[in-house]
């Protein structure tokens, strides 16, 4: 009789223990998903999407903008990397003790200017593509926000 009660207690304990593991696992899964969702706002893509979400875009608009944004960020990051490389070349050149080669310096300065122009043009083209997806009101709001940010920037 006693062993039957002990068996019942052990079975119930086992069931409660399993339920506890399932609940604990579910809690950590939900916590991880919530953290991942929160971190999306802090990634490069997430920051940009947060900006566009602030315009009141629909899910369909967000999907289209996210595709454009991913293409834009790939190009932008490639240009940033190239710009860093050219700047490093420039620093290495002027850090040396030998006389500066004016022609090489001019080439590097022209390359930096070209990259800056390319980045500006790429950004402008991206904004035009996004504008095509937005409503007139959303577009006006976007450019108004961009103008505010531009005014805050220091030259």
Indicate the domain borders of the chain.
1-40, 57-152
CATH, range 57-152: 1.20.120
pTM over 0.85: no
Q: Give the range among 31-40, 51-60, 126-135 with minimum mean pLDDT.
A: 31-40
Render pLDDT for 78-130 as a digit per residue (tens, 0 to 9).
Answer: 998 998 998 888 888 888 777 777 888 888 889 889 988 999 999 999 999 99
C-alpha count within 13 angstroms, C-beta hemisphere, residue 34: 6
Burial of 9 (0-12, 13-18, 19+ CB in 10 A): exposed
């Amino acid at each position: 009789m006693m062993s039957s009660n002990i068996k019942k207690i052990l079975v119930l304990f086992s069931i409660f223990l399993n339920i506890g593991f399932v609940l604990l696992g579910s809690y950590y899964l939900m916590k991880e998903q919530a953290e991942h969702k929160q971190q999306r706002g802090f990634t490069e893509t997430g920051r940009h999407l947060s900006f566009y979400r602030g315009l009141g875009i629909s899910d369909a608009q967000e999907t289209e903008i996210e595709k454009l944004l991913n293409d834009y960020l790939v190009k932008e990051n490639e240009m940033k990397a190239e710009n860093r490389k050219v700047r490093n070349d420039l620093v290495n050149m002027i850090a040396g003790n030998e006389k500066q080669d004016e022609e090489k310096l001019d080439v590097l300065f022209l390359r930096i200017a070209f990259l800056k122009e390319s980045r500006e043009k790429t950004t402008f083209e991206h904004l035009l593509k996004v504008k095509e997806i937005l409503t007139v009101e959303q577009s006006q709001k976007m450019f108004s926000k961009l103008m505010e940010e531009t005014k805050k920037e220091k030259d």
